Amino acid sequence: MTPQPHRSFWLQEVAGDAPDAPPLAGHHTADVAIVGGGYVGLWTAIRLKEFAPACDVAVVEADICGGGASGRNGGFALSWWPKLASLTALIGERDAVTVAQDSERAIAEIGVFTAAHGIAADFRQGGWLWTATSQAQMGSWNGLLELCARRGVTPFRVVPPDQVHRLAGSPVHRAGILEGSAAVVQPAALARGLRRVALEAGVRVYEHSRVRHFTRDQPVVLTTDQGRLVAPTVVIATNAWAAGIRELGRSIAVISSDIVATAPIPEELAQLGWHPDLAITDSQIMVDYYRISNDRRIIFGKGGWTIGFGGRIGPRFDRHSRRAAEVTADFRRYYPSLGAVPITHDWSGPIDRTPTSLPLLGYLGGRRHLIYGVGWSGNGVGPSVVGGRVLASMALGRQDRWGQYPLIGRSAGSFPPEPIRFLGAHAVRTAVARKERREIVDAKPSWLATQIARLAPAGLEDKTGAP
């Protein structure tokens, strides 16, 4: 029996919601096989059944559905508005705005969908407060606000500094802007709810079934330890694990994101005045992100420390005690009055960062029957709703708006090959960490660290101006 991986607070909260699905054993067939049972795989499965109810769909998942990033994330459902500059560079002005609008609508759709299907995912649409917590971070959003103004869109509003302190519950937050469409969810409850809806729609789910190999020709043969699944069309939705796929590996760098959760502290939070429905981030490259859970814990995460060599994802991507201590230190710096509040949970997960920080949607090696949707770059909760529609349309060969989505087949660029990528990523990450450790206390970072840190790919948002 394989040992259970370390689980996030979120997954522990929903543990036992349903018995695990049996592994794939023996020989099976399907019209569409989906590899990966996270948001992307499950939304795709659900849309396939909506678009083509007779389609025989099977999801093959190495762990349990939601065991990957979908059951471990911060639960921030964000749009692609903060990536408008990157989108514009990739697909042009008009499509960039359309795609960003789709991603905004996707957030509200999560609320509607979960309500309609009785998924208790604690959807709360309180907005995203993007803040500056040091002098160096001030005005990180200026280029983006100018770009939005030029395009005639207004997804963000500037919040007066005193309101920023109040909303975020700490004067460490010096300035900020709010994107009202953003929401928070209980991420694992969302993933597990999607699994239930998929099963109810007739999707077959195989858990504890790692796909060890798949052929490239049609029909595709997927091989797991105990079985084989043959399907004319396959959708690869394996997030950071796709870095191990030959054709995709160079476009994905695997980095960790790490989270701690406090004990429930309803009285302390009420005193701070932190608005409970808000998603909050600072403006660091190794971004701090934080929100409040339904039972009034603080969930505090930080992006970008552990780097996977050659895309390998080991146990350090499940839990990393030194990282948890560093994330805790950031939390205590931002909320000094909560110094005595205990940390009860910590966990990590892998992020599939692409050079553009936008996802890769396309046909593997140009084969129309082998479809992939990976590279969500730490922003997959909301965008996977769009991704599911696109991937389902691609799998069915539909020539509708989703089947011809502007993001399909865009070159994401590539990272250098290993071991240069690993060594380079280490050097850049170390420089970013050094620079940001100085800046957070309003000290000047070294010239060298600043220069090397410039090589880091964009994080959650584009900070440097507009095309």
Applying CB under 6 A, the residues found at the interface with ligand FAD are 35-41, 60-63, 67-70, 72-76, 78, 210-211, 237-239, 241, 257, 259, 289, 301, 349-351, 376, 378-382, 384
Q: Which is nearer to ligand FAD, 27 or 150 (CB)?
A: 27
CB of 197 to ligand FAD, least distance (A): 15
Q: Which is nearer to ligand FAD, 70 or 452 (CB)?
A: 70
Q: Which is nearer to ligand FAD, 76 or 452 (CB)?
A: 76
3-state SS, residue 427:
helix
- What residue type is 388 in one-letter code? G
Q: Which is nearer to ligand FAD, 383 or 403 (CB)?
A: 383
How many Å from the N-terminal Cα to the C-terminal Cα in the chain? 53
Contact between residue 309 and residue 418 where contact means Cβ atoms under 8 Å apart: yes
List the strands of the sheet with 220-223, edge to edge.
Answer: 26-29, 227-231, 220-223, 213-214
Q: Which is nearer to ligand FAD, 38 or 169 (CB)?
A: 38
Dihedral (Cα; 283, 288, 292, 294), 10-degree rounding: 120
3-state SS, residue 178:
strand
CB of 438 to ligand FAD, least distance (A): 25
DSSP β-bridge partners for residue 230:
29, 221
CB of 62 to ligand FAD, least distance (A): 4
Q: Which is nearer to ligand FAD, 308 or 349 (CB)?
A: 349
CB of 185 to ligand FAD, least distance (A): 9
User: Secondary structure of 205-257 in the HEC alphabet?
Assistant: EECCCCCCEECCCCCEEEECCCEEEEECEEEECCHHHHHHCCCCHHHCEEEEE
Q: How far is CA 264 from CA 254, 290, 417, 432, in A?
A: 32, 14, 45, 33
Q: Which residues contact 332 (CB under 8 A, 6 or more apart)?
A: 338, 339
CB of 384 to ligand FAD, least distance (A): 5
Q: Which is nearer to ligand FAD, 88 or 103 (CB)?
A: 103
CB of 20 to ligand FAD, least distance (A): 13
CB of 187 to ligand FAD, least distance (A): 7
